[in-house]
């Protein structure tokens, strides 16, 4: 039987430690191809490149895994891989391991989860892996058993249509277990820092701190991370606020 085809991407770039460790963790579970940005694309969200050409370069193999570096966004990587580079449809798309968590509303800014959501559009099962360990040389070896467990289960059973998984790991070497979570709410504060350049002209850095709005809600991914669990948030594409529909209909006389 043909090995399953596993496409791996990320938003930290093809050479990041996290994607190399992820590739190493699962390389025996299928035929692995890496198509990832040629450098960091943190905060890229689901942006795609509409006005400039996208280039792709074949890099040295990582073991038996072919590696391609792409000048575009994380979403571009998936579009180019599925549309052009791969000779068959992938059975699974993995993103990460991201250096930094993508819990709560930060999914919306995340290039890692953009990959998983792009896969969901294409009805290809996908998992985005992120860790609270930010360091560029973080050691993710503690994630290996559960990464393999989840990848194996999804390869065997698939996922519900257009559902992908957002998996976040605490900054720890042992975990209390896997929690199935809902997406936490929150916002960023102090997110714009004004500065003055040497010529006396003002500019801004986007920065800030995330503030959870969940309180002591033990069902969210934010809670799970803060309490030592691996947070698994099943995620989909539908943003419809169903419960708000009657109120808006009333307001607009529709």
Out of 35, 69, 126, 150, the only residue in the binding site for its own copies (CB under 8 A) is 150
Out of 4, 13, 49, 59, the only residue in the binding site for its own copies (CB under 8 A) is 49
Q: Which of residues 205-224 bind its own copies (CB under 8 A)?
A: 205-206
Q: Which stretch binds its own copies (CB under 8 A): 2-10, 16-24, 30-38, 173-181?
A: 173-181
Does 134 participate in binding its own copies (rule CB under 8 A)?
no
Q: Which of residues 65-84 bind its own copies (CB under 8 A)?
A: 72-73, 75-76, 79-80, 83-84
- Residue closer to its own copies, measured from CB, 143 or 150: 150
Q: 215-227 b/e with 16+ CB inside 10 Å = b? A: eeeeebbbbbbbe
Does 191 participate in binding its own copies (rule CB under 8 A)?
yes
Backbone angles phi, psi at 63, to 5 degrees: 65, -125
Q: Cα separation of 185 and 202, whole Å?
A: 32
- The distance of closest approach from Cβ of residue 16 to its own copies in the complex, given in angstroms and rounded to an integer, is 14
Q: Which stretch binds its own copies (CB under 8 A): 26-34, 43-51, 90-98, 130-138?
A: 43-51
Asked if 127 and 231 count as a contact pair (C-beta separation under 8 A), the reply is no
Q: Cα separation of 71 and 253, whole Å?
A: 48
- Residue closer to its own copies, measured from CB, 33 or 75: 75
- The distance of closest approach from Cβ of residue 113 to its own copies in the complex, given in angstroms and rounded to an integer, is 8
Q: Which of residues 102-131 bind its own copies (CB under 8 A)?
A: 105, 107-109, 114, 117, 121-123
Which distant-in-sequence residues (6+ apart) come within 8 Å of 103 by Cβ? 130, 166, 168, 183, 184, 220, 221, 222, 225, 231, 233
Does 50 participate in binding its own copies (rule CB under 8 A)?
yes
Does 88 participate in binding its own copies (rule CB under 8 A)?
no
Asked if 229 and 175 count as a contact pair (C-beta separation under 8 A), the reply is yes
Q: Which stretch binds its own copies (CB under 8 A): 16-24, 87-95, 130-138, 240-248?
A: 240-248
Asked if 10 and 44 count as a contact pair (C-beta separation under 8 A), the reply is no
Which distant-in-sequence residues (6+ apart) come within 8 Å of 145 by Cβ? none
How do beta strands 230-235 and 164-169 pair? antiparallel
Does 43 participate in binding its own copies (rule CB under 8 A)?
yes
Asked if 118 and 85 count as a contact pair (C-beta separation under 8 A), the reply is no
Q: How many residues make contact with its own copies (CB under 8 A)?
A: 86
- Residue closer to its own copies, measured from CB, 3 or 176: 176
- The distance of closest approach from Cβ of residue 214 to its own copies in the complex, given in angstroms and rounded to an integer, is 12
């Amino acid at each position: 039987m043909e090995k399953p085809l596993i496409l791996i991407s990320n938003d930290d770039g093809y050479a990041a430690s996290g994607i190399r460790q992820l590739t190493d963790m699962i390389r025996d579970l299928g035929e692995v191809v890496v198509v990832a940005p040629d450098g960091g694309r943190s905060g890229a969200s689901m942006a795609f490149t509409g006005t400039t050409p996208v280039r792709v370069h074949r890099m040295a193999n990582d073991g038996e895994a072919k590696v391609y570096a792409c000048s575009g966004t994380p979403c571009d990587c998936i579009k180019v891989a599925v549309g052009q580079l791969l000779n068959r449809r992938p059975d699974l798309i993995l993103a990460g391991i991201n250096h930094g968590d993508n819990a709560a509303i930060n999914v919306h800014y995340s290039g890692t989860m953009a990959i998983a959501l792009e896969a969901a559009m294409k009805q290809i099962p996908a998992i985005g892996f992120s860790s609270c360990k930010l360091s560029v040389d973080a050691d993710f070896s503690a994630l290996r058993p559960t990464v393999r467990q989840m990848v194996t289960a999804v390869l065997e059973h698939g996922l519900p249509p257009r559902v992908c998984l957002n998996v976040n790991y605490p900054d720890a070497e042992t975990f209390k277990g896997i929690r199935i979570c809902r997406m936490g709410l929150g916002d960023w504060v102090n997110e714009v820092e004004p500065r003055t350049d040497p010529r006396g002209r003002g500019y801004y850095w986007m920065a800030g701190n995330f503030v959870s709005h969940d309180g002591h809600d033990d069902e969210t991914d934010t809670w799970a991370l803060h309490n030592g669990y691996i947070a698994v948030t099943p995620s989909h594409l539908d943003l419809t606020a169903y419960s708000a529909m009657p109120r808006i209909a009333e307001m607009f006389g529709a």
